[in-house]
Amino acid sequence: MITQFWNNDDELFEAVEKELFTAVVGDAMDKMHLFHQFLPPEIKPLKEDMFLIGRAMPVLEADTFEELSIGSKNPLMSKPFGLMLEALDDLKKNEVYICAGASPSYALVGELMMTRAKMLGAAGAVANGYSRDTFGMLDLDLPIFSYGNYAQDQGPRGKVIDFRVPIEMNGVRINPGDIVIGDIDGVCVVPQAQEVEVFLRAFEKARGEKVVLKEIQNGMSALDAWNKYQIM
């Protein structure tokens, strides 16, 4: 196996963007018995050529049924958007605003939110729900992944109740600091504790696939390619 050649996140993320894609990262995790690391297939990029990589900043959302519940025993219920504004302002460079916990029936991210995220150097956003303000979001050119475009607002329908806490999407656990990778084929999560091995395996496979591709283009059979390289 190749040896680690990056010294920090900037170097790793640059190399990943140049050489890797979600499929090969997922294949590497499969080899490590990390079989459930892809987020729901409904989550897609706002634009087909968007590529996302960054550290997870998980945001926990919950459904509500009115914008302000005055007199509630939970002070967040009388606070517009709950802790959403605090979560946005806490974003760091190369972090991904990744939100789950709500019913997928309203928009969890929009243009003003993502403008703030971009100003802070965030890598992008992933929502287990919808996004809105599509034309403005496209102008931002920030990688956004969601169920699609839907204008219905979270204001009276949901609140952020915590952030930088573990969240789950369809059984996939996302911890603060995990690496999130997204492209046209989906979004996967690389656990921080195993990230070095995952990426070493992924770079090795991606480089091997280029060799196999040339062999097949030159006429080698699929069976012979597999027997020689164990890559397909």
- Report which secondary-structure segment, H or E, holds 10: helix 9-19
Compute the distance between CA of residue 182 and CA of residue 107 in angstroms, rounded to an integer.
Answer: 19
114-136: burial string, b at 16+ Cβ within 10 Å, e else: bbebbeeebbbbbbbbbbbbbee
Any known ligand binding at 110?
yes
Any known ligand binding at 111?
yes
53: nearest Cα among 181, 231, 227: 181
**Chain centroid to CA 226:** 31
Other Cβ atoms closer than 10 A to 10: 11
Contact 124, 145 (CB under 8 A): yes
- In the chain, the amino acid numbered 36 is H
Any known ligand binding at 112?
yes
Beta strands (DSSP E) in the chain are 44-45, 52-63, 95-100, 107-109, 124-127, 130-131, 144-146, 158-163, 167-169, 172-174, 179-183, 186-190
Contact 101, 60 (CB under 8 A): yes
- In the chain, the amino acid numbered 105 is S
Binding site for Mg(2+): what residues are annotated? 133
Binding site: what residues are annotated? 110-113, 132-133
Binding site for substrate: what residues are annotated? 110-113, 132
